[in-house]
């Protein structure tokens, strides 16, 4: 069978969408509803790994896609071949002009379930077409940043290197996963392309194949030290860590590096009982006069293994973490969703709600503001607070919040201040936000993590961080729930 002419290997990220987004957009257009204003929230419902918080990441890549949102002649030809889209709609796409407002939480911000991470307000056709592109961008990078943060925290200040490119789910996942891990605190990556694109330090020395290529382990170490004396970290577990690997490394340090006046970087252990081997290797290095030589551990590590190794007294200075980080193997779905929360006619908003048999799938209606409440004395984040878009919050005299699910639970915060978490990215289609540099995002993330209480950062049974609703927003949600129930009973 002859191949269809519209098939193309060229990627236009504007077509990174589920097909129903295009059919709905076409339906809105053909019904004359293309200019009706809709408001969508992107939020997530559950923190991966049962953690206390997640980390927002991916905004810069989303902005790149929106900036370049268009449909070329080939795209239009492809859609025409589907045979279900009107010529008027295809002409609209050919002359597509983006006019939405978008607000988003900045990258590196700790985020919590139920709160709007990204809000899109604009013509329903346009807002609908953004759904998949937005979700895949934020879901992936937020997932990897969240997992990386757990691993970095487990290392207790020791450098963590992202070593997962070969186990990532795709080329993009490898590169953007490295970016997300760097935001969350990893010290560098094995991925050269990530260094080339984003300036993330590319790190790494040798694989077992280097050692195997030489007549002896000693010859392999000697050749490497002679070629890279200033970055000499030797992989010592190809044959036997304690019987040959560490002794040969010490011999090379003595015979090659010491005469040059260069101190070795250290050794890497990639297999075996790493706690036991690292202790023995540490003593051997110390006894040989290399107490400053580091010991790096790799081999399918995650936050729990790293924590256990350190609790067992492992003598480790850094970690290389691969598959469990780059795939978030223990909980590999972030689960962000994109839901309609309001429509607008003129300046008047009509809030919308999605009701479900599952309470966790209940949405919070309306165009909203997201606030974070900080304690003035400690600088710690106390709670997040959702209000209707035109509500202002004054915390100067204190503020009383209530649990939106268990409304009898109330708490008054005093000596606090409030900060809006979302910032405007696009105003009527024009970008009004400049993305910070990656090092700035990384520094911002570290600063924001320092505002969280230790109890929120626990791996197991973390303290629940509250995302509460204003009285007005809660009343609006309750009203819509009652109306929805009445409609269901009437239609039943």
C-beta of residue 278 within 8 angstroms of C-beta of residue 297: yes
Helices (H) and strands (E) in the chain, counts: 17, 21
Strand blocks (E) in 282-440 = 294-297, 318-321, 336-345, 348-351, 368-375, 381-388, 399-402, 410-413, 416-420, 422-427, 430-431
C-beta of residue 99 within 8 angstroms of C-beta of residue 122: yes
Q: How far apart are CA 95 and CA 314, in angstroms?
A: 62
Provide the β-strand partners of residue 294. Answer: 266
Residue 223 in 3-state DSSP?
helix
- 328-355 pLDDT, tens per residue? 999 999 999 999 999 999 999 999 999 8
Q: How far apart are CA 341 and CA 324, in angstroms?
A: 36
Share of the chain above pLDDT 90, in %: 91
76-111 burial, b for 16+ CB within 10 Å, e for fewer? bebbeeeeebeeebbebbeeeebebbbbbbbbbbbb
Confidence of residue 8 (pLDDT cuts 50, 70, 90): low
C-beta of residue 273 within 8 angstroms of C-beta of residue 237: no
- 279-304 pLDDT, tens per residue? 999 999 999 999 999 999 998 999 99
pLDDT attached to residue 275: 98
- 438-456 pLDDT, tens per residue? 999 999 999 999 999 999 9
The answer to pTM > 0.85 is yes
Q: How far apart are CA 72 and CA 94, in angstroms?
A: 7
- 48-73 pLDDT, tens per residue? 999 999 999 999 999 999 999 999 99
pLDDT attached to residue 9: 55
Q: How far apart are CA 17 and CA 180, in angstroms?
A: 22
Share of the chain above pLDDT 70, in %: 98
Confidence of residue 2 (pLDDT cuts 50, 70, 90): very low
pLDDT attached to residue 358: 72
pLDDT attached to residue 3: 46
Find the mean pLDDT for residues 264-272: 97
Report how far apart, in Å, the C-alpha atoms of 165 and of each of 180, 287, 404, 437, 490 are: 13, 36, 42, 23, 55
Find the mean pLDDT for residues 421-445: 98
- 386-417 pLDDT, tens per residue? 999 999 999 888 999 998 888 898 999 999 99
- 216-257 pLDDT, tens per residue? 999 999 999 999 999 999 999 999 999 999 999 999 999 999
Confidence of residue 7 (pLDDT cuts 50, 70, 90): low
Residue 419 has pLDDT above 60, yes or no: yes
Residue 46 in 3-state DSSP?
coil
pLDDT attached to residue 5: 54
DSSP for 225-238 reads: HHH-GGG-EEE--S
- 171-207 pLDDT, tens per residue? 999 999 999 999 999 999 999 999 999 999 999 989 9
Phi, psi (rounded to 5 degrees) for 275? -60, -50
Q: How far apart are CA 286 and CA 290, in angstroms?
A: 5
pLDDT attached to residue 156: 97
Confidence of residue 1 (pLDDT cuts 50, 70, 90): very low
Report how far apart, in Å, the C-alpha atoms of 343 and of each of 98, 339, 351, 377 are: 18, 12, 7, 41
CA torsion, ordered 466, 389, 359, 353, to nearest 10 deg? 180
Confidence of residue 4 (pLDDT cuts 50, 70, 90): low
Confidence of residue 312 (pLDDT cuts 50, 70, 90): very high
Provide the β-strand partners of residue 418. Answer: 373
Q: Which two tokens stand for residue 472?
A: 């007005």
Contacts of residue 226, defined as CB under 8 A and 6 or more positions apart, other chains included, come to 256
Contacts of residue 349, defined as CB under 8 A and 6 or more positions apart, other chains included, come to 39, 342, 343, 366, 367, 389
Least confident range of 293-302, 353-362, 426-435: 353-362
User: What mean pLDDT, rounded, does the chain reach?
Assistant: 95
Find the mean pLDDT for residues 131-152: 98
Query: What is the set of domains in the chain, with CATH numbers?
Result: 13-144+337-491 (3.20.140.10), 151-326 (3.20.20.70)
Residue 491 has pLDDT above 80, yes or no: no
Residue 295 in 3-state DSSP?
strand
C-beta of residue 386 within 8 angstroms of C-beta of residue 420: no
The structure tokens 């918080």 sit at: 53
pLDDT attached to residue 6: 58
Query: Which of 242, 245, 206 minimizes the C-alpha distance to 224?
Result: 206
Provide the β-strand partners of residue 413. Answer: 399
Would you tell me the crossing angle of helices 274-287 and 303-311 to the nearest 10 degrees?
50
- 24-46 pLDDT, tens per residue? 999 999 999 988 999 999 999 99
pLDDT attached to residue 10: 65
pLDDT attached to residue 329: 97
């Amino acid at each position: 069978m002859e191949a269809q002419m519209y098939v193309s290997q060229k990627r236009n990220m504007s077509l990174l969408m589920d097909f129903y987004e295009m059919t709905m957009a076409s339906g809105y257009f053909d019904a004359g509803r293309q200019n009706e204003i809709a408001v969508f929230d992107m939020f997530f419902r559950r923190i991966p790994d049962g953690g206390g918080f997640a980390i927002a990441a991916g905004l810069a890549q989303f902005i790149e896609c929106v900036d370049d949102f268009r449909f070329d002649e080939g795209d239009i030809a492809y859609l025409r071949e589907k045979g279900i889209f009107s010529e008027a709609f295809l002409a609209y796409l050919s002359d597509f002009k983006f006019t939405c407002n978008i607000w988003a939480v900045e990258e590196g911000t700790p985020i919590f379930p139920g709160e709007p991470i990204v809000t899109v307000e604009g013509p329903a056709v346009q807002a609908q077409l953004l759904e998949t592109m937005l979700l895949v961008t934020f879901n992936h990078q937020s997932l990897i940043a969240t997992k990386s943060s757990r691993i970095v925290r487990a290392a207790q200040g020791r450098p963590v290197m992202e070593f997962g490119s070969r186990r990532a789910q795709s080329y993009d996942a490898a590169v953007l996963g490295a970016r997300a891990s760097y935001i969350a605190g990893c010290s560098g990556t094995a991925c050269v392309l990530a260094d080339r694109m984003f300036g993330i330090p590319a790190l790494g020395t040798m694989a077992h194949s280097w050692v195997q290529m030489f007549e002896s382990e000693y010859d392999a170490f000697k050749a490497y030290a002679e070629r890279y004396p200033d970055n000499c970290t030797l992989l010592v577990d190809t044959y036997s860590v304690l019987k040959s690997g560490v002794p040969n490394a010490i011999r090379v340090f003595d015979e090659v590096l010491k005469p040059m006046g260069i101190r070795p970087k250290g050794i890497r252990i990639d297999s075996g009982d790493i706690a036991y081997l690292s202790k023995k290797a540490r003593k051997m290095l110390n006894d040989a006069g290399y107490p400053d030589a580091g010991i790096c551990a790799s081999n399918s590590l995650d936050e729990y293994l790293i924590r256990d190794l350190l609790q067992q007294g492992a003598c480790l200075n850094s970690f290389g973490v691969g598959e469990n980080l780059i795939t978030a193997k223990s909980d590999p779905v972030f689960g962000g969703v994109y839901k309609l929360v309001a429509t607008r006619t003129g300046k008047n908003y009509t809030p919308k709600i999605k009701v479900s048999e599952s309470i966790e799938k209940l949405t919070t209606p309306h165009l909203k503001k997201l606030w974070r409440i900080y304690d003035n004395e400690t600088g710690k984040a106390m709670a997040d607070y959702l209000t209707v878009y035109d509500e202002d919050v004054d915390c100067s005299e204190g503020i009383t919040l209530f649990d939106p699910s268990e409304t009898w639970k109330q708490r008054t915060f005093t000596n606090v201040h409030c900060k809006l978490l979302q910032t405007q990215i696009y105003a009527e289609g024009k970008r009004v936000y400049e993305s910070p540099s990656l090092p700035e995002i990384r520094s911002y993330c570290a600063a924001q993590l320092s505002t969280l209480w230790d109890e929120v950062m626990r791996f197991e049974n973390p303290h629940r961080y509250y995302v509460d609703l204003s009285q007005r927003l809660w009343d609006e949600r309750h009203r819509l729930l009652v109306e929805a129930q009445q409609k269901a009973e009437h239609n039943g």
